[in-house]
Structure 1
Amino acid sequence: MSTTKYVSDVKVINNNQEVIFNYLSNFENLSKYVNEGLLTKMTEQIPQIKISNFESDADSCRFQIAGMGLAEIRIIEREPHKTIKINSSGGMPVGITFWIQLLPVSAYETKLRLTLDADMSMMIKMMVNKKLEEGINRLADMLAALPYR
Protein backbone atom coordinates (compact mmCIF):
# COMPACT_ATOMS: atom_id res chain seq x y z
CA MET A 1 0.00 0.00 0.00
CA SER A 2 1.19 3.47 -0.83
CA THR A 3 -0.34 6.91 -0.51
CA THR A 4 -1.01 9.02 -3.57
CA LYS A 5 -2.07 12.67 -3.38
CA TYR A 6 -4.66 14.20 -5.71
CA VAL A 7 -5.32 17.96 -5.66
CA SER A 8 -8.13 19.71 -7.51
CA ASP A 9 -7.89 22.92 -9.43
CA VAL A 10 -8.94 25.96 -7.39
CA LYS A 11 -12.62 26.83 -7.95
CA VAL A 12 -14.24 30.17 -7.14
CA ILE A 13 -17.71 30.12 -5.58
CA ASN A 14 -19.84 33.25 -5.58
CA ASN A 15 -20.90 32.97 -1.97
CA ASN A 16 -19.76 33.74 1.57
CA GLN A 17 -17.07 31.48 3.09
CA GLU A 18 -19.07 30.88 6.29
CA VAL A 19 -22.22 29.88 4.37
CA ILE A 20 -20.24 27.43 2.21
CA PHE A 21 -18.44 25.95 5.23
CA ASN A 22 -21.66 25.46 7.20
CA TYR A 23 -23.29 23.76 4.23
CA LEU A 24 -20.40 21.42 3.36
CA SER A 25 -19.60 20.52 6.96
CA ASN A 26 -23.00 18.80 7.34
CA PHE A 27 -23.30 15.60 5.28
CA GLU A 28 -27.09 15.76 5.52
CA ASN A 29 -26.99 18.73 3.12
CA LEU A 30 -25.17 16.63 0.53
CA SER A 31 -27.25 13.44 0.81
CA LYS A 32 -29.90 14.49 -1.71
CA TYR A 33 -27.23 15.08 -4.38
CA VAL A 34 -25.65 11.71 -3.72
CA ASN A 35 -28.99 9.92 -3.83
CA GLU A 36 -30.09 11.73 -7.01
CA GLY A 37 -27.83 9.93 -9.44
CA LEU A 38 -24.29 10.43 -8.16
CA LEU A 39 -24.03 6.79 -7.09
CA THR A 40 -25.17 5.67 -10.53
CA LYS A 41 -22.62 7.95 -12.21
CA MET A 42 -19.84 6.65 -9.95
CA THR A 43 -20.73 3.05 -10.78
CA GLU A 44 -20.72 3.90 -14.51
CA GLN A 45 -17.27 5.50 -14.17
CA ILE A 46 -15.77 2.69 -12.09
CA PRO A 47 -17.88 -0.43 -12.80
CA GLN A 48 -15.72 -2.56 -10.50
CA ILE A 49 -17.18 -0.68 -7.53
CA LYS A 50 -20.95 -0.85 -7.09
CA ILE A 51 -22.28 1.40 -4.31
CA SER A 52 -25.76 1.20 -2.76
CA ASN A 53 -27.76 1.88 0.44
CA PHE A 54 -26.41 5.37 1.03
CA GLU A 55 -27.29 6.91 4.44
CA SER A 56 -25.99 10.03 6.12
CA ASP A 57 -26.12 12.15 9.24
CA ALA A 58 -24.39 15.43 10.01
CA ASP A 59 -20.94 13.87 10.59
CA SER A 60 -20.84 10.75 8.43
CA CYS A 61 -22.22 8.79 5.53
CA ARG A 62 -22.40 5.04 5.15
CA PHE A 63 -22.92 2.87 2.09
CA GLN A 64 -22.56 -0.69 0.85
CA ILE A 65 -19.84 -1.63 -1.62
CA ALA A 66 -20.72 -4.84 -3.45
CA GLY A 67 -18.40 -7.66 -2.40
CA MET A 68 -16.67 -5.56 0.27
CA GLY A 69 -19.31 -4.64 2.83
CA LEU A 70 -20.20 -1.47 4.65
CA ALA A 71 -18.00 1.61 4.21
CA GLU A 72 -18.11 4.88 6.07
CA ILE A 73 -16.80 8.39 5.44
CA ARG A 74 -16.66 10.59 8.54
CA ILE A 75 -15.82 14.24 9.16
CA ILE A 76 -13.00 14.03 11.67
CA GLU A 77 -12.07 17.70 11.94
CA ARG A 78 -13.65 21.06 11.24
CA GLU A 79 -11.60 24.24 11.33
CA PRO A 80 -14.41 26.81 11.25
CA HIS A 81 -14.86 28.42 7.89
CA LYS A 82 -11.54 27.11 6.54
CA THR A 83 -11.11 23.34 6.42
CA ILE A 84 -13.17 20.15 6.63
CA LYS A 85 -11.17 16.94 7.05
CA ILE A 86 -12.80 13.63 6.15
CA ASN A 87 -11.57 10.06 6.70
CA SER A 88 -12.75 6.65 5.50
CA SER A 89 -13.27 3.35 7.29
CA GLY A 90 -14.92 0.00 6.71
CA GLY A 91 -15.04 -1.84 3.41
CA MET A 92 -13.49 0.73 1.12
CA PRO A 93 -10.88 -0.65 -1.26
CA VAL A 94 -8.94 2.60 -0.84
CA GLY A 95 -8.16 4.31 2.48
CA ILE A 96 -8.76 8.03 2.09
CA THR A 97 -8.17 11.26 3.91
CA PHE A 98 -9.86 14.16 2.21
CA TRP A 99 -9.69 17.92 2.81
CA ILE A 100 -12.05 20.64 1.64
CA GLN A 101 -10.21 23.94 1.90
CA LEU A 102 -11.93 27.32 1.71
CA LEU A 103 -10.29 30.72 1.36
CA PRO A 104 -12.15 34.03 1.19
CA VAL A 105 -11.53 36.28 -1.79
CA SER A 106 -14.13 38.85 -0.77
CA ALA A 107 -17.32 38.94 1.32
CA TYR A 108 -19.21 36.96 -1.35
CA GLU A 109 -16.47 35.11 -3.18
CA THR A 110 -14.64 32.04 -1.86
CA LYS A 111 -11.92 29.81 -3.29
CA LEU A 112 -12.35 26.06 -2.89
CA ARG A 113 -9.68 23.39 -3.28
CA LEU A 114 -9.93 19.66 -2.62
CA THR A 115 -7.05 17.40 -1.58
CA LEU A 116 -7.30 13.62 -1.44
CA ASP A 117 -4.71 11.28 0.05
CA ALA A 118 -5.55 7.76 -1.15
CA ASP A 119 -3.81 4.75 0.41
CA MET A 120 -4.09 1.87 -2.06
CA SER A 121 -2.33 -1.13 -3.49
CA MET A 122 -0.50 -0.85 -6.82
CA MET A 123 -3.17 -3.00 -8.47
CA ILE A 124 -6.00 -0.72 -7.35
CA LYS A 125 -3.95 2.36 -8.26
CA MET A 126 -3.53 1.03 -11.81
CA MET A 127 -7.32 0.59 -12.04
CA VAL A 128 -8.44 3.91 -10.54
CA ASN A 129 -5.55 6.41 -10.75
CA LYS A 130 -6.81 8.23 -13.87
CA LYS A 131 -10.41 8.19 -12.55
CA LEU A 132 -9.29 9.77 -9.25
CA GLU A 133 -7.27 12.44 -11.09
CA GLU A 134 -10.35 13.34 -13.14
CA GLY A 135 -12.80 12.76 -10.29
CA ILE A 136 -11.23 15.23 -7.85
CA ASN A 137 -11.81 18.07 -10.34
CA ARG A 138 -15.32 16.89 -11.18
CA LEU A 139 -16.15 16.82 -7.48
CA ALA A 140 -14.71 20.34 -7.07
CA ASP A 141 -16.87 21.51 -10.00
CA MET A 142 -19.92 19.89 -8.44
CA LEU A 143 -19.29 21.47 -5.03
CA ALA A 144 -18.71 24.87 -6.64
CA ALA A 145 -22.07 24.62 -8.41
CA LEU A 146 -24.20 23.72 -5.36
CA PRO A 147 -26.98 26.15 -4.40
CA TYR A 148 -25.54 27.35 -1.09
CA ARG A 149 -28.08 28.83 1.32
Structure 2
Amino acid sequence: MTKFESSVKQIPHSQQSVYNTLSDLNNVQRLKERLPEGSIGNDEMDKVKERLQNITFDQDSLSMNVDPVGQISMRIIEREEPKTIKFKSDNSPLSFNFWIQILPVTEISSKMKLTIDADIPFFAKGMVSKPLQEGIEKIADALAMIPFE
Protein backbone atom coordinates (compact mmCIF):
# COMPACT_ATOMS: atom_id res chain seq x y z
CA MET A 1 0.00 0.00 0.00
CA THR A 2 1.19 3.51 -0.84
CA LYS A 3 0.11 6.45 1.29
CA PHE A 4 -0.72 9.94 0.00
CA GLU A 5 -1.56 12.81 2.36
CA SER A 6 -2.92 16.28 1.71
CA SER A 7 -1.50 19.30 3.44
CA VAL A 8 -3.40 20.44 6.52
CA LYS A 9 -6.28 22.75 5.58
CA GLN A 10 -7.63 25.43 7.92
CA ILE A 11 -11.43 25.63 8.00
CA PRO A 12 -13.37 28.57 9.48
CA HIS A 13 -16.04 26.25 10.92
CA SER A 14 -16.28 24.10 14.04
CA GLN A 15 -15.05 20.52 14.07
CA GLN A 16 -18.58 19.27 14.76
CA SER A 17 -20.07 21.26 11.88
CA VAL A 18 -17.47 19.92 9.43
CA TYR A 19 -17.98 16.37 10.67
CA ASN A 20 -21.78 16.61 10.47
CA THR A 21 -21.61 17.73 6.84
CA LEU A 22 -18.98 15.27 5.60
CA SER A 23 -20.21 12.20 7.48
CA ASP A 24 -23.53 12.15 5.55
CA LEU A 25 -22.83 11.97 1.82
CA ASN A 26 -26.38 13.12 1.08
CA ASN A 27 -24.96 16.58 1.76
CA VAL A 28 -23.27 16.37 -1.66
CA GLN A 29 -26.69 17.19 -3.12
CA ARG A 30 -26.80 20.38 -1.05
CA LEU A 31 -23.38 21.36 -2.39
CA LYS A 32 -24.45 20.69 -5.98
CA GLU A 33 -27.50 22.91 -5.50
CA ARG A 34 -25.38 25.83 -4.26
CA LEU A 35 -23.25 25.98 -7.40
CA PRO A 36 -24.19 28.85 -9.71
CA GLU A 37 -26.04 28.04 -12.93
CA GLY A 38 -24.43 28.51 -16.34
CA SER A 39 -20.82 29.31 -17.05
CA ILE A 40 -19.23 31.12 -14.16
CA GLY A 41 -16.11 32.13 -16.05
CA ASN A 42 -13.71 30.26 -13.81
CA ASP A 43 -12.31 27.20 -15.60
CA GLU A 44 -11.33 25.44 -12.37
CA MET A 45 -14.78 25.99 -10.80
CA ASP A 46 -16.44 24.83 -14.04
CA LYS A 47 -14.42 21.58 -13.79
CA VAL A 48 -15.48 21.11 -10.15
CA LYS A 49 -19.10 21.73 -11.10
CA GLU A 50 -18.92 19.23 -13.97
CA ARG A 51 -17.36 16.57 -11.73
CA LEU A 52 -19.98 17.11 -9.02
CA GLN A 53 -22.76 16.62 -11.55
CA ASN A 54 -21.30 13.17 -12.41
CA ILE A 55 -21.30 11.94 -8.80
CA THR A 56 -23.92 9.51 -7.56
CA PHE A 57 -24.29 8.95 -3.83
CA ASP A 58 -26.37 7.96 -0.86
CA GLN A 59 -25.75 8.49 2.84
CA ASP A 60 -22.82 6.05 3.00
CA SER A 61 -21.43 5.68 -0.52
CA LEU A 62 -20.18 7.76 -3.41
CA SER A 63 -19.40 6.87 -7.03
CA MET A 64 -17.86 8.92 -9.84
CA ASN A 65 -16.20 8.50 -13.19
CA VAL A 66 -12.54 9.59 -13.12
CA ASP A 67 -10.47 9.85 -16.30
CA PRO A 68 -8.50 7.77 -17.18
CA VAL A 69 -9.14 5.29 -14.34
CA GLY A 70 -12.88 4.77 -14.89
CA GLN A 71 -15.63 4.31 -12.31
CA ILE A 72 -14.48 4.77 -8.71
CA SER A 73 -16.76 3.95 -5.81
CA MET A 74 -16.21 4.18 -2.09
CA ARG A 75 -18.24 3.49 1.01
CA ILE A 76 -18.00 4.87 4.54
CA ILE A 77 -16.84 2.03 6.76
CA GLU A 78 -16.30 3.93 10.01
CA ARG A 79 -17.34 7.19 11.63
CA GLU A 80 -15.58 8.40 14.76
CA GLU A 81 -17.53 11.50 15.74
CA PRO A 82 -16.41 14.26 15.49
CA LYS A 83 -12.89 13.56 14.23
CA THR A 84 -12.63 10.83 11.56
CA ILE A 85 -14.54 9.47 8.57
CA LYS A 86 -13.07 6.36 6.94
CA PHE A 87 -13.90 5.07 3.46
CA LYS A 88 -12.98 1.89 1.56
CA SER A 89 -13.03 1.38 -2.19
CA ASP A 90 -16.01 -0.54 -3.50
CA ASN A 91 -16.12 -1.85 -7.10
CA SER A 92 -13.13 0.25 -8.17
CA PRO A 93 -10.16 -0.61 -10.41
CA LEU A 94 -7.80 0.21 -7.52
CA SER A 95 -8.14 -0.99 -3.95
CA PHE A 96 -7.79 1.90 -1.51
CA ASN A 97 -8.72 3.32 1.87
CA PHE A 98 -9.46 7.01 2.25
CA TRP A 99 -9.96 8.95 5.43
CA ILE A 100 -10.74 12.47 6.54
CA GLN A 101 -9.29 13.70 9.82
CA ILE A 102 -10.85 16.77 11.44
CA LEU A 103 -9.28 18.41 14.47
CA PRO A 104 -10.48 21.43 16.45
CA VAL A 105 -8.42 24.61 16.48
CA THR A 106 -10.89 26.82 18.36
CA GLU A 107 -14.61 26.54 19.04
CA ILE A 108 -15.33 28.08 15.64
CA SER A 109 -12.46 26.74 13.53
CA SER A 110 -10.86 23.43 12.72
CA LYS A 111 -8.25 21.82 10.50
CA MET A 112 -8.52 18.88 8.15
CA LYS A 113 -6.19 16.41 6.47
CA LEU A 114 -7.02 13.75 3.87
CA THR A 115 -5.17 10.47 3.43
CA ILE A 116 -5.35 7.80 0.73
CA ASP A 117 -3.73 4.41 1.22
CA ALA A 118 -3.81 2.74 -2.20
CA ASP A 119 -2.76 -0.68 -3.42
CA ILE A 120 -0.84 0.39 -6.52
CA PRO A 121 1.04 -2.19 -8.59
CA PHE A 122 4.77 -1.52 -8.63
CA PHE A 123 4.88 -0.95 -12.40
CA ALA A 124 2.13 1.72 -12.20
CA LYS A 125 3.44 3.60 -9.15
CA GLY A 126 5.52 6.02 -11.21
CA MET A 127 2.57 6.91 -13.43
CA VAL A 128 -0.08 7.41 -10.76
CA SER A 129 1.80 8.80 -7.76
CA LYS A 130 1.95 12.41 -8.94
CA PRO A 131 -1.70 12.54 -10.16
CA LEU A 132 -2.90 10.94 -6.90
CA GLN A 133 -0.95 13.44 -4.78
CA GLU A 134 -2.27 16.35 -6.84
CA GLY A 135 -5.78 14.91 -6.71
CA ILE A 136 -5.88 14.54 -2.94
CA GLU A 137 -4.65 18.12 -2.60
CA LYS A 138 -7.41 19.39 -4.92
CA ILE A 139 -10.04 17.42 -3.01
CA ALA A 140 -8.77 18.88 0.28
CA ASP A 141 -8.87 22.40 -1.19
CA ALA A 142 -12.43 21.88 -2.42
CA LEU A 143 -13.62 20.43 0.91
CA ALA A 144 -12.04 23.31 2.82
CA MET A 145 -14.17 25.79 0.82
CA ILE A 146 -17.52 24.18 1.64
CA PRO A 147 -19.98 26.36 3.56
CA PHE A 148 -20.37 23.96 6.49
CA GLU A 149 -22.99 25.86 8.47
Specify the code of the residue in structure 2 equivalent to 1:107: E
Q: Tell me which residue corresponds to 1:46.
A: none
Q: Distance in 2 between matches of 1:66 and 1:134?
A: 14
Q: Tell me which residue corresponds to 2:41.
A: none
Runs of 4+ in 1 over 6 A off after TM superposition: 65-69
Q: Tell me which residue corresponds to 1:106.
A: 106
Structure 1 segment 11-26 matched on structure 2, within 5 A = 11-26=9-24
Say if 1:147 and 1:103 are closer, same or farther in 2 by CA, change over 3 A.
same
Q: Distance in 1 between matches of 2:94 and 2:68?
A: 14
Q: Provide the identity percentage.
A: 41
Does structure 2 conserve the Cα–Cα contact (< 8 Å) formed by 1:93 and 1:120? no
Q: Tell me which residue corresponds to 2:81.
A: 80
Q: Tell me which residue corresponds to 1:45.
A: none
The Cα RMSD (Å) is 2.6
- Which has the larger share of strand? 1
Say if 1:66 and 1:16 are closer, same or farther in 2 by CA, change over 3 A.
closer
Is there any run of 5+ residues in structure 1 with no aligned partner, and where? 41-51
Q: Tell me which residue corresponds to 1:37.
A: 50
Cα shift at 1:71: 4.5
Say if 1:136 and 1:62 are closer, same or farther in 2 by CA, change over 3 A.
closer
Q: Distance in 2 between matches of 1:146 and 1:62?
A: 19
Say if 1:129 and 1:60 are closer, same or farther in 2 by CA, change over 3 A.
same
Structure 1 segment 1-149 matched on structure 2, within 5 A = 3-31=1-29, 32=32, 36-38=49-51, 54-63=55-64, 71-90=72-91, 92-149=92-149
Length, aligned pairs only: 134
Say if 1:121 and 1:39 are closer, same or farther in 2 by CA, change over 3 A.
farther
Cα shift at 1:103: 0.5
Say if 1:21 and 1:37 are closer, same or farther in 2 by CA, change over 3 A.
same
Say if 1:64 and 1:115 are closer, same or farther in 2 by CA, change over 3 A.
closer
